[in-house]
Amino acid sequence: MKVRKITPSVFEIPLGVVNAFLINQNELTLIDTGSRQTGSRQTGSGGSTHQLIQAIEQIGRVPGDIRHILITHCHADHAGGLADIQRACEATTYMHAADASMVREGKALRPLTPAPGLLNKALFRAFIAKSPAQITPVKIDHEVSDGELLEIAGGIQAIHVPGHCAGQLVFYWPQEGGVLFAADTASNIGWLQPSIAYENYEEGLRSLRKLTVHPFEVACFGHGKAIRKNAVSRFRQKWLR
Ligand SMILES: [Zn+2]
Ligand SMILES: [Zn+2]
């Protein structure tokens, strides 16, 4: 597992099929936690938490430095590792109310359908249909609302983007060129595209259009490679036409 530096302070941590992110300033901020399953095909041996801790050490920090954990949505590949990593630090946890209520009860999934297209149907059957519906229940300290400015890393704006998941948030950090932590609103596996699965596809497209007002140079995805330049132009080309 190799941590990737995306901007001077933003690091991408590949955890099998999913990415988590760190903002490395005086305080350490973690965005998403990977899934918990140990030794599974998704996370490799050791599970996400072990890999997360390794990643934090690779950049010269320790888990106790994490002050804030932002969770984009309740799916097991994003929130499943939260209970474990919380034990290694004393961070405040943040999530949208619609998904916080799920995670507190250990629920990780509402019914999903594949995005349009045969490839999405096949990928859905291979990966999403078997997604765990349960995770370890965990407390969420702060319920975040749409547009809220969080006093984290000099100011991070949360944007509510339902569609893939009713309580999904993305986080816009205006520093270092403007970085959007785009969660599963879209993916960039091979090319920029919608996610494989949605609770409501049309709503997901509306959420993607909503993001294009923010001048982000960099976009980081739950699945796929970060876009490091002109990211918002790519979003506008794709979803505003
Ligand atoms: Zn998801
Ligand atoms: Zn995901």
Instruction: Please give the pLDDT value at position 241.
Output: 77
**CB-based neighbours (< 5 A) of ligand 1, an ion:** 75, 184
Calculate how far, in angstroms, residue 199's C-alpha sits from the geometric centre of ligand 2.
13
| CB-count burial class (<10 Å; 0-12, 13-18, 19+) for 163 | buried
Calculate how far, in angstroms, residue 95's C-alpha sits from the geometric centre of ligand 1.
14
Question: pLDDT digit string (tens) for 119-169?
Answer: 999 999 998 888 899 999 999 999 999 999 999 999 999 999 999 999 999
pTM: 0.95
Instruction: Please give the pLDDT value at position 48.
Output: 87
Question: pLDDT digit string (tens) for 191-239?
Answer: 999 999 999 999 999 999 999 999 999 999 999 999 999 999 999 999 9
* Domains present along the chain, CATH in parentheses: 4-239 (3.60.15.10)
Instruction: Please give the pLDDT value at position 92.
Output: 98
Name every residue whose Cβ is closer than 8 Å to that of residue 61 and which is 6 or more positions away in sequence. Answer: 24, 28
Instruction: Please give the pLDDT value at position 39.
Output: 42
Is the confidence at residue 43, as pLDDT, over 90? no
**Hey, how many other C-beta atoms are within 10 angstroms of the C-beta on 79?**
31
Name every residue whose Cβ is closer than 8 Å to that of residue 8 and which is 6 or more positions away in sequence. Answer: 176
Calculate how far, in angstroms, residue 113's C-alpha sits from the geometric centre of ligand 2.
14
